[in-house]
Chains A and B, each alone.
Chain A
Amino acid sequence: MPLIEFTDKGLYCRAGDFYIDPWRPVDKAVITHAHSDHARWGNKYYLCHHDTRPILQQRLGPNTYQDIAWNEPVYMNGVRITLFPAGHIIGSSQVRIESNGEIWVVSGDYKIENDGISGQFEPVKCHSFITESTFGLPIYNWKPQTEIYTDVQNWIRKNQEVSKTSVLIAYSLGKAQRLLHPIAEVTDKIFVHGAVYNIHMALVNAGWKLPAVQRVTPETSKEELKGAVVIAPSSAEGSPWLRRFAPYEIGICSGWMQVRGNARRKNADAGFALSDHADWNGLLQACRETEAECIYATHGFQAVFTRYLNEHGINAKEVKTEYGDDELEPAELKLEED
Chain B
Amino acid sequence: MREFAELVMKLGSSTKTNDKLEALMHYFNNADNKDKVWVIAIFSGRRPKRAVNTTQLATYCVELVDLPFWLFEESYHTVGDLAETIALLLPGNENAPNTSKPLHLYIEQLRDLEKQAEEIKKQFILKAWKEMNFAERFVFNKLITGGFRIGVSQKVIVNALAKTINLDSSVIAHRISGNWDPSTITFDELLSEHSLNTDFSKPYPFYLAYAIEEDVSQLGDPKDWQAEWKWDGIRGQVIKRNQELFVWSRGEELMTEKFPEYHSLAQVLPDGIAIDGEIIPSVDQKPLPFALLQTRIGRKNITKKQLQEVPIAFFAYDLLEYNGEDWRDRPLEERRSQLEEVIAATNHPSLIISPIVPFSNWEELARLRESSRELGAEGFMLKKKQSTYQVGRKRGDWWKWKIDPLTIDAVMIYAQKGAGRRSNLYTDYTFAVKDGDKLIAFTKAYSGLTDKEFAQVDAFVKRNSLEKFGPVRTVKPELVFEIAFEGIAASNRHKSGVALRFPRISRWRKDKTPEEINTLEDLKQLLEVYGK
Contacts and interface: CB of A to CB of B under 8 A. Distances in A.
Interface in B73-88: 74-75, 78-81, 84-85, 88
A163 interface: no
B461 to A, nearest CB: 14
Nearest to B417: A261
Nearest to B9: A260
B354 interface: no
**How many interface residues does chain B have, given as a range?**
20 to 34
Most buried by B among A138, A141, A258, A308: A138
B22 to A, nearest CB: 12
Nearest to A265: B421
A139 B67 CA distance: 11
Interface stretch (B12-20, B178-186, B278-286): B12-20
A271 interface: yes
A135 to B, nearest CB: 10
B68 A139 contact: no
B85 A147 contact: no
A269 B19 CA distance: 11
A311 interface: yes
Given A137-B74, A265-B421, A143 B94 contact: yes
Contact of B13 (A138, A271, A311): A271
B386 to A, nearest CB: 41
A95 B84 CA distance: 37
A139 B78 contact: yes
Nearest to B68: A311
A265 B419 CA distance: 11
Contacts of A260: 12-13, 81, 84, 423
A171 to B, nearest CB: 18
A262 B13 CA distance: 10
B427 to A, nearest CB: 10
B259 to A, nearest CB: 38
Interface string A102-126: 0000000000000000000000000
Contacts of A57: none
Interface in A131-169: 137-139, 141, 143, 147
Contacts of A138: 65, 67, 71, 75, 89
B78 A259 contact: yes
Interface string A295-338: 00000010110011001000000000000000000000000000
Nearest to A312: B68
B169 interface: no
A267 interface: yes
A170 interface: no
Nearest to B134: A143
A308 B85 CA distance: 18
Contact of B423 (A259, A267, A271, A307): A259
Contacts of B425: 265
B80 A261 contact: yes
A270 B12 CA distance: 10
B420 interface: yes
A86 to B, nearest CB: 25
A268 B75 CA distance: 23
Interface residues of A, number: 26
A17 B422 CA distance: 44
A147 B134 CA distance: 14
Interface string B412-445: 0000000111111100000000000000000000
Given A137-B74, A138-B75, A308 B68 contact: yes
Nearest to B78: A137
A46 interface: no
A129 interface: no
A264 B81 contact: no
Contact of A139 (B12, B14, B15, B85): B85
B81 to A, nearest CB: 7
A191 interface: no
Contacts of A258: 88
Nearest to A249: B15
B146 interface: no
Contacts of B448: none
B251 interface: no
B13 A270 contact: yes
Given A137-B75, A259-B79, A264 B420 contact: yes
Contacts of A265: 421-423, 425, 451
A261 B422 contact: yes
Given A259-B84, A261-B423, A141 B92 contact: yes
B102 interface: no
A258 B13 CA distance: 13
B151 interface: yes
Contacts of B151: 264
Contacts of B71: 137-138, 304, 308
A147 B422 contact: no
Contact of B424 (A262, A268, A269, A270): A262
Contacts of B84: 259-260
Nearest to B84: A260
A307 B71 CA distance: 9
B50 to A, nearest CB: 22
A256 interface: yes
A268 B12 CA distance: 11
A260 B78 CA distance: 12
A283 B113 CA distance: 40
A303 B473 CA distance: 14
A261 B74 contact: no
Nearest to A328: B455
B114 to A, nearest CB: 29
Contacts of A268: 13, 15
Interface in B13-69: 13-15, 65, 67-68
A213 interface: no
A263 interface: yes
Given A141-B92, A143-B92, A308-B71, A259 B15 contact: no
Interface string A268-282: 111100000000000
Contacts of B420: 261, 264
A288 B74 CA distance: 22
A200 B468 CA distance: 43
A118 to B, nearest CB: 24
Given A260-B81, A261-B423, 11 more contacts: A138-B89, A139-B75, A141-B92, A261-B80, A261-B421, A261-B422, A261-B424, A264-B421, A267-B15, A268-B13, A304-B71
16 contacts: A137-B78, A147-B94, A256-B424, A258-B88, A260-B12, A261-B420, A261-B424, A263-B13, A264-B421, A265-B423, A267-B15, A269-B14, A301-B74, A303-B468, A308-B68, A311-B68
9 smallest CB-CB distances across A and B, nearest first, come from: A261-B423, A139-B88, A264-B421, A265-B421, A139-B75, A261-B421, A304-B74, A261-B420, A259-B423
Interface of B: 12-15, 65, 67-68, 70-71, 74-75, 78-81, 84-85, 88-89, 92, 94, 151, 419-425, 451, 468
Interface of A: 137-139, 141, 143, 147, 256, 258-265, 267-271, 301, 303-304, 307-308, 311
